[in-house]
Amino acid sequence: MKEPTVRNPFTPTFGSSPELLVGRDGILDSFTRGLDEGPGSPTRALLLSGQRGVGKTALLNAIEDRAQALGWLTMAETALEGLIDRLVTDHLPTLLRNHDPRSVTRHLDGVTAPGGIGGATFTVRDRHPGTPSLRSQLTDLTGILAPHRTGVLITVDEVWPGSAGELRELATVIQHLFREARPVAVVMAGLPENVDALLNAEAITFLRRAHHSILGAVTRAEARAALEVPVTAAGRRFDDDALDAAVDATRGYPYMIQLIGYHSFAVDGEGTITHDAVATARQKALGEVGRMVHRPALRLLSAKELEFVRAMAVDDGPSHTSDIAARMDRSPAYVGQYRRRLLAKHIISAPAYGLVDLPMPGMRDYLRLDPDATEAAYTGFW
């Protein structure tokens, strides 16, 4: 009888957590210290930003795990319409009922027979119905938790300008609770342009005081560990040259690490992972990154921003901004404003003075394709 296939240890799915999270220890440790230090720690309000696939949601999951390990209660949400309503009518009443020993009371209504013989009837009343305000419920919950040196963490993923009203309400309440030295923490995450728009919103000044961490590439050593450790734990190994090629292919991009690992592992379900397997995985991974990351990101650019990055794609490496200006037939000052916008959106990087580059794996090849290219035309980037 054939042995069952070993489970693939890589998870190239947006929102899932990798078997080994790398490159984020500093953020996790800083946040954990913030919980240990008590009210007033700056990392109890944390803002995460980064492009698609850098692991924002995976980091939120890890932050929640750290908090829970310290005995904190957590509420994980997404910045969709109805955020405050879900907190007030779902999450908080449930936590209050589960953790307040006085949450349910019984009141004697009467007896069922003369003289009290035969039993009594009671009404059960919930002390935490789902109608109070966000502030009152969080005040009650933190009051219950504070004597136990724990608290409550709220995480909000995929923040965007359309959620500004509800995020403003949440931020205002959290700010009041901070002033009262209550054990509460909040972590929000979103795309760079969305986070920047919220930071610039006049009515959400609280977010500007949050500790802002920008997520980007992990180091070569971290990428190597993220590939090698899960494969070894699954009872397999990379050839030395195959592992080097796999690390090179990721360019430190967390989503690419999962894609390269997944497809390398899947090429042959057993034995050593070879250089040929990694080469096959690289082609598949680049096609998926194009569909899942590059195309959605480029669709959000303005016409001039897209013209700028297409002008960059002419070069095989970093581009001189003077060359970009010449190709666009615009002045350096004009081009400079689009450079700043694209840097803020993490579409491009600035490795040195006067230079810009495309840091995302496969982005250059994707931009070189004809704009009307079919789905099949861009599956093989390199």
Same domain for 226 and 351, yes or no, is no
Among 179, 214, 249, give the residue marking a domain's end: 214
Same domain for 204 and 224, yes or no, is no
User: Which pLDDT value is given to residue 270?
Assistant: 82
User: Which pLDDT value is given to residue 114?
Assistant: 52
Q: What CA–CA distance (Å, rounded) separates 67 from 75? A: 11
- Picking from 302, 316, 317, the residue whose alpha carbon sits closest to that of residue 355 is 317
- How would you write the pLDDT of the chain (382 residues) with one tens digit per residue? 344 478 999 999 888 899 999 999 999 999 999 999 999 899 999 999 998 899 999 999 999 999 999 999 999 999 999 999 999 999 999 999 999 877 655 444 544 545 545 454 444 455 555 468 999 999 999 999 999 999 999 999 999 999 999 999 999 999 999 999 999 999 999 998 899 889 887 767 888 889 999 998 999 999 999 999 999 999 999 998 999 999 999 999 999 999 999 999 999 778 899 999 999 999 999 889 988 989 988 988 999 999 999 999 999 999 999 999 999 999 999 999 999 999 988 899 999 999 999 988 888 888 887 554 433 333 332 3
Q: What CA–CA distance (Å, rounded) separates 305 from 359? A: 16
Cα-atom radius of gyration of the chain, to the nearest Å? 26
CA neighbours closer than 13 Å in the CB half-sphere of residue 224: 10
Q: What is the CATH number of the domain that holds 314?
A: 1.10.10.10
Helix (H) or strand (E) holding 230: helix 220-233
Q: What CA–CA distance (Å, rounded) separates 227 from 223? A: 6
Tokens representing 30 are: 């800083």
Residue 323: domain span: 301-378
Query: What end-to-end distance do the CA atoms of the chain give, in Å?
Result: 40
Strand order, beta sheet including 45-49: 73-78, 152-157, 184-190, 45-49, 211-214
Same domain for 195 and 233, yes or no, is no
Query: pTM of the predicted model, to two decimals?
Result: 0.82
Q: What is the CATH number of the domain that holds 287?
A: 1.10.8
Q: Looking at the domain assignment, is residue 166 inside a domain?
A: yes
Domain count within the chain: 3
Same domain for 186 and 291, yes or no, is no
Same domain for 205 and 224, yes or no, is no
Among 169, 190, 214, give the residue marking a domain's end: 214
CA–centroid distance for 146 within its chain: 28
Q: Looking at the domain assignment, is residue 9 inside a domain?
A: no
Q: What is the CATH number of the domain that holds 30?
A: 3.40.50.300
User: Which pLDDT value is given to residue 373?
Assistant: 40
Q: Looking at the domain assignment, is residue 17 inside a domain?
A: no
133 Rama class: left (phi>0) / alpha (psi -120 to 50) / beta = beta
User: Which pLDDT value is given to residue 375?
Assistant: 38
Contact predicate 74/67, CB 8 Å: yes
Give the max Cα distance, the chain.
Answer: 100
Q: Looking at the domain assignment, is residue 72 inside a domain?
A: yes
Contact predicate 253/220, CB 8 Å: no
Length of the chain: 382
